[in-house]
């Protein structure tokens, strides 16, 4: 009966055909984000119109880029390593620790250094053998970043070593001499002499480095 009605009534068949066409033209229900992405992908290439005007492709929105962004995988990190890029170089290095002394103004640091240098020089002058270890502290102060403090330390070292250096020759002991059994008093004197030789040797190297630096400026 339906077939006859379609063949016998042309208007009914045409109406049925219009319904099918309208159904096909009806937009499908789907993911709105997917349709937006497809539309953006279709308009990425430039299009030249009949008038010769090139239409600029639409760029995806920031929200769409955020949704499409994927986390970096281990494979991509491996590719960076193959390309000679060290991933550790991309990260910031840890900050150097800042001491309370470095936070002080330079003027206060210079005053503190003067007091410490004067105290060290006094202790070494009173009992050189007991306080010979303070020579290392003098060397540490002479390595300060502030030029004013370095100059004060070098001047103190010069005065201290001038008073400490004895009238006889001091040399570094050999391994056999250091292993030899000696009295307590001799061991104490040798310890003082070796510390003095080591400290004075470092002081001479320091002066040599300063002299070479000044010579290069001439």
Average pLDDT estimate for 144-168:
91
Residue 167: C-alpha distances to residues 15, 102, 162, 188 (Å) = 127, 41, 11, 18
Alpha carbon 17 to its chain centroid, in Å, reads: 73
Q: What's the total number of domains in the chain?
A: 1
pLDDT over threshold 70, residue 164: yes
Determine, yes or no, domain membership for 67.
no
pLDDT at res. 207 = 92
Determine, yes or no, domain membership for 194.
yes
pLDDT at res. 35 = 57
Average pLDDT estimate for 160-164:
91
pLDDT over threshold 80, residue 114: yes
What's the pLDDT tens digit per position in 30-50? Answer: 555 555 555 555 545 555 566
DSSP 8-class letter at 146:
S
Residue of 206, 204, 137, 115 whose CA lies nearest to 165: 204
Determine, yes or no, domain membership for 86.
no
Question: d(Cα 218, Cα 210) in Å, to the nearest integer?
Answer: 13
Determine, yes or no, domain membership for 73.
no
pLDDT over threshold 70, residue 122: yes
pLDDT at res. 137 = 95
pLDDT at res. 5 = 45
Q: Which domain holds residue 183?
A: 106-217
Determine, yes or no, domain membership for 99.
no
Determine, yes or no, domain membership for 48.
no
The alpha helices in the chain, defined as continuous H runs, are: 2-8, 10-25, 32-42, 62-68, 74-82, 106-126, 134-142, 147-164, 175-179, 184-217
pLDDT at res. 104 = 84
What's the pLDDT tens digit per position in 59-92? Answer: 554 444 445 555 555 555 555 555 555 555 445 4
């Amino acid at each position: 009966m339906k077939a006859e009605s379609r063949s016998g009534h042309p208007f009914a068949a045409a109406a049925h055909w219009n319904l099918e066409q309208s159904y096909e033209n009806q937009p499908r229900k789907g993911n709105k984000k997917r349709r937006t992405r497809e539309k953006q992908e279709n308009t990425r290439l430039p299009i030249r119109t009949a008038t010769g005007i090139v239409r600029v492709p639409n760029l995806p929105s920031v929200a769409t880029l955020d949704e499409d962004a994927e986390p970096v995988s281990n494979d991509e990190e491996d590719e960076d390593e193959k390309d000679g890029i060290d991933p550790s170089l991309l990260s910031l290095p840890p900050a150097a620790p800042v001491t309370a002394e470095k936070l002080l103004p330079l003027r206060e640091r210079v005053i503190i250094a003067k007091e410490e240098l004067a105290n060290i020089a006094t202790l070494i002058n009173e009992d050189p053998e007991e306080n010979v270890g303070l020579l290392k502290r003098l060397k540490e102060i002479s390595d300060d970043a502030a030029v004013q403090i370095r100059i004060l330390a070098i001047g103190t070292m010069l005065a201290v070593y001038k008073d400490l250096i004895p009238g006889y020759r001091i040399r570094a002991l050999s391994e056999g001499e250091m292993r030899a059994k000696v009295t307590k008093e001799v061991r104490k004197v040798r310890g003082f002499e070796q510390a003095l030789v080591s400290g004075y040797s470092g002081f001479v190297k320091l002066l040599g480095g300063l002299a070479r630096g000044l010579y290069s400026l001439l």
